[in-house]
Amino acid sequence: MVYDHNKIEAKWQHYWEQNQTFQTENSPKPEQEKYYVLDMFPYPSGQGLHVGHPEGYTATDIMARFKRMQGKNVLHPMGWDAFGLPAEQYALKTKHNPGSFTQQNIANFKRQIKSLGFSYDWSREVNTTDASYYKWTQWIFEKLYEKGLAYEDEIEVNWAPDLMGGTVVANEEVVNGKTERGGYPVYRKPMKQWVLKITAYADRLLDDLEDLDWPESIKQMQRNWIGRSTGARITFPVVDCQDTIDVFSTRADTLFGATYLVLAPENELVDRLTSSEQQAAVADYRKQIASKSDLERTDLNKDKTGVFIGSYATNPVNGKHLPIWISDYVLSSYGTGAVMAVPAHDQRDYDFAKKFALPIIPVIDGGNVEKEAYTGDGQHINSGFLNGLNRQKGLDKMMEWLQDHHAGKSQVNYKLRDWIFSRQRYWGEPIPVIHWDDGTTSLVPETELPLRLPQTDDLKPSGTGQSPLANLTEWVNVTDSQGRHGVRDTNTMPQWAGSSWYYLRYIDPHNDQMIADPAKLKYWLPVDLYVGGAEHAVLHLLYARFWHKFLYDLGVVPTKEPFQKLVNQGMILGTNHEKMSKSKGNVVNPDEIVAEYGADTLRLYEMFMGPLVESKPWSTEGLAGANRWIKRFWRLFIDDDNQMSEFLTTENDGNLTKIYHQTVQKVTNDLEKMRFNTAISQLMVFVNAVYKEQKLPTEYATGLVKLLSPITPHLCEELWQRLGNKNSIAYADWPSYDEQQTVADQIEIVVQVNGKVRAHLQVEPNIKNSELQELALANQHVKTAVTGKKIHKIVVVPSKIVNIVAS
């Protein structure tokens, strides 16, 4: 009988559900080793799954099934990151509540995921939009607030007036000066926002990367994002004034070369230090800057702009008077919002100095300041007591001098900014804060959590820059027991909030007393394997690490880091080698694949395409090939009359012994290293060998089905049952191999002459080198190759190669 994927896949999916095969016991089992394998949970979009989703999910499912068969206690959950902008935009358009729309999408995602036969424990499903879930998201926020790590601040934010009737987006959501979603322009605007002090954890977030088994590229991206930079804070007194200007510099050694100072236009010192003659020009420049979008400030405008503010500062090291300018190439949000300009040795300062004809004084030998700034090393010149010293020695000496003269000290700065945590949206976790009329602010008491999102079908932009929640006056206005009136905070949390801790909730998903039972957390943490797309390299993964460390400090979680091993699956491209997208018309829908070929074929093909971490193009022929092989595998066991195949035999003539043990060894090692493509290739090699032999001893048949079962579970459950087994293959023992059986009695030795292969020799594995050498020289092909030549040297690598060097 030909393999009927529809019937068999439905049968086993039903069986697993009925028997709760993959439900993980709720009480920890300290005597059994655990394995927590996690997928990045999806945002359930209206589009449903694309073939990229099942790639990562198949990889984790194989690992989950493999580890179960090796006797591990496996936690393998799935859930939904269901707050988010698309649902809100849809709701605004259609006058529906985003909740019902979201439920529909989740149902569709779940149907699709289930059709692929993944071994999730669905009893642990979480949904970030459930009040019983976001109660704890709000709880974490309150703890952050209590510890002073959540604060309100009037800060320059990325204001996108055209997005959702005006909203604030995080730095990470701004791409090339436009919003990541929708591509709307972004402007800088000071606004009151909730901010989380992630910078307080900058050092730990940086240093603890060391011990993680993550791709080096991701670690490097996080390091760059955090951007720790060690330098000096140098104080410049302002001439004829009590004020001082502090600057941050990593090149304090070039202080003698400073020829002017630049403040960020937004720096508050500007008001006080601008001379009356320059007032108009400065005001004009600042106005220009404020109306520029980020894009205009960076990409579109590489040309330096700026204005002299009419006052001077004193260089502490030589008393020179330096003009003070403002320019938008100095960022108000980094360092002190002011720099000392050393145009001879910094390209940005150089460009500015050239444009405004400011002096350029070289203080390090080398380079040519007529052409460009010199940033290399060299001996200091024009630098008083630093003359003759190189960069590092000069820096050390200058730091000493600055400390001694109270003109500066060492300082560490980070590119990492605090996390702007409020969004002017409806579809998110409400921030549980009340602003009282008397000017005080308080948290919603923990006993009153969750603070539920009020139901409404009529979402409207508030028009004030506040979220649509501002319209819901009944919800917004509160009166306490003393009759005091206040208003609720109308901000909601960003999508990153719910996804920053969901992996903790899976461990104890129905606990209504706490985030999770500490004993269970202790047993299951950290996550042993986390698989997802590289697009979350900095955002999600940095925020989750931050919250985890905070919870660690609170004593809630027992580990410093949440995810021990991280793997990024590569992208699946369209057949034209381009990224799949609707507009290119190269999107493959997994539903169609499952209907035509079955889930096992999709799983097998996606794992066979190439290494998990690489991007690779879809191939319709390749997919059909995977399906052909599944049927070929089936025919090893089941004949055309639906009987057990004549290949199956209880007699073992030993012809397949070596290759069987090799296969068990290779598949086991490859799965451990997640090299699924080569594991599958080895199984194909074995199947080819069985077809040659026309025989399959039962002991190898059962082993073979087990080896393949993590990859194509439906097929293998069916064959396992037909081989006479009563229980699911999911908990069958993983096959073992005998190392002795994997090596042959005879090994092949390559004989080279001058590095070129001239002959092959069949020899005993433990042959002596001298014997090997003799055999090689006696070979006819070798003799021909060395005829008329003098042998200089013979290199023998035991059990591998003989290389004869002759000329």
- Of the candidate spans 78-86, 189-197, 215-223, 495-503, the one that interacts with RNA by CB under 7 A turns out to be 215-223
- Near RNA by CB under 7 A: residue from 304, 380, 505, 548: 304
Q: Is residue 387 left, alpha or beta, with left meaning phi > 0 and alpha meaning psi from -120 to 50? A: beta
Is the CB of 149 or the CB of 759 nearer to RNA?
Answer: 759
Site for RNA in 343-372 (CB under 7 A): 346, 348
User: Does residue 126 contact residue 506 with C-beta atoms inside 8 Å?
Assistant: yes
| C-alpha to C-alpha distance for 581 and 313, rounded to whole angstroms | 56
| C-alpha to C-alpha distance for 779 and 773, rounded to whole angstroms | 10
Distance of CA 750 to the CA centre of its chain: 45
Please name every residue paired with 38 in a beta bridge, in sequence order, or none if there are none. 530
646 binds RNA (CB under 7 A): no
| C-alpha to C-alpha distance for 148 and 370, rounded to whole angstroms | 51
Binding mask 384-413 for RNA (x = CB under 7 A): -----------------------------x
Q: Strands, DSSP E only, in 444-575?
A: 477-479, 485-488, 529-532, 566-568, 572-573
Could you tell me which of 648, 647, 634 has the C-alpha nearest to residue 712? 634
Site for RNA in 309-328 (CB under 7 A): 328
Tokens 């000493």 — which residue? 400
Crossing angle (nearest 10°) for helices 539-554 and 131-146: 70
295 binds RNA (CB under 7 A): no
- Near RNA by CB under 7 A: residue from 334, 356, 647, 737: 334
Could you tell me which of 597, 504, 586, 594 has the C-alpha nearest to residue 552? 504
- Near RNA by CB under 7 A: residue from 134, 225, 547, 563: 225
Tokens 């949440």 — which residue? 562
Residues binding RNA: number (CB under 7 A): 87
User: Does residue 342 contact residue 327 with C-beta atoms inside 8 Å?
Assistant: no
Q: Kindly state the smallest distance separating residue 620's Cβ from RNA, in Å.
A: 8
- Of the candidate spans 368-376, 447-455, 679-687, 736-744, the one that interacts with RNA by CB under 7 A turns out to be 679-687
Please name every residue paired with 194 in a beta bridge, in sequence order, or none if there are none. 152
Q: Kindly state the smallest distance separating residue 312's Cβ from RNA, in Å.
A: 20
**Residue 582, marked binder:** yes
User: Does residue 379 contact residue 364 with C-beta atoms inside 8 Å?
Assistant: yes
Crossing angle (nearest 10°) for helices 698-708 and 657-672: 20
H/E stretch holding 245 reads strand 244-249
Site for RNA in 452-471 (CB under 7 A): none
- Near RNA by CB under 7 A: residue from 20, 100, 275, 301: 301
Site for RNA in 570-589 (CB under 7 A): 577, 579
Crossing angle (nearest 10°) for helices 599-608 and 5-18: 100
- Of the candidate spans 118-126, 182-190, 444-452, 798-806, the one that interacts with RNA by CB under 7 A turns out to be 798-806
Q: Kindly state the smallest distance separating residue 220's Cβ from RNA, in Å.
A: 5
User: Does residue 534 contact residue 567 with C-beta atoms inside 8 Å?
Assistant: no
Site for RNA in 23-62 (CB under 7 A): none
Q: Is residue 724 left, alpha or beta, with left meaning phi > 0 and alpha meaning psi from -120 to 50? A: left
Site for RNA in 142-201 (CB under 7 A): 171-172, 175
| C-alpha to C-alpha distance for 44 and 380, rounded to whole angstroms | 60
- Near RNA by CB under 7 A: residue from 5, 233, 251, 505: 251
220 binds RNA (CB under 7 A): yes
- Of the candidate spans 23-31, 212-220, 281-289, 426-434, the one that interacts with RNA by CB under 7 A turns out to be 212-220
Kindly state the DSSP code that residue 385 receives in the 8-state scheme: G
Is the CB of 89 or the CB of 249 nearer to RNA?
Answer: 249
Is the CB of 66 or the CB of 634 nearer to RNA?
Answer: 634
| C-alpha to C-alpha distance for 307 and 282, rounded to whole angstroms | 6
Q: Kindly state the smallest distance separating residue 297's Cβ from RNA, in Å.
A: 6
- Near RNA by CB under 7 A: residue from 760, 768, 783, 789: 760
661 binds RNA (CB under 7 A): no
631 binds RNA (CB under 7 A): yes
- Of the candidate spans 146-154, 280-288, 395-403, 793-801, the one that interacts with RNA by CB under 7 A turns out to be 793-801
- Residue 577 tokens read as 């080698």
Please name every residue paired with 195 in a beta bridge, in sequence order, or none if there are none. 151, 420
Site for RNA in 508-547 (CB under 7 A): 534-535, 537-538
707 binds RNA (CB under 7 A): no
- Of the candidate spans 139-147, 543-551, 676-684, 735-743, the one that interacts with RNA by CB under 7 A turns out to be 676-684
Q: Kindly state the smallest distance separating residue 425's Cβ from RNA, in Å.
A: 22
268 binds RNA (CB under 7 A): no
Q: Kindly state the smallest distance separating residue 675's Cβ from RNA, in Å.
A: 6
Site for RNA in 600-619 (CB under 7 A): 608-611, 614-617, 619
User: Does residue 531 contact residue 543 with C-beta atoms inside 8 Å?
Assistant: no
Binding residues for ATP: 582
* Binding-site residues: 582
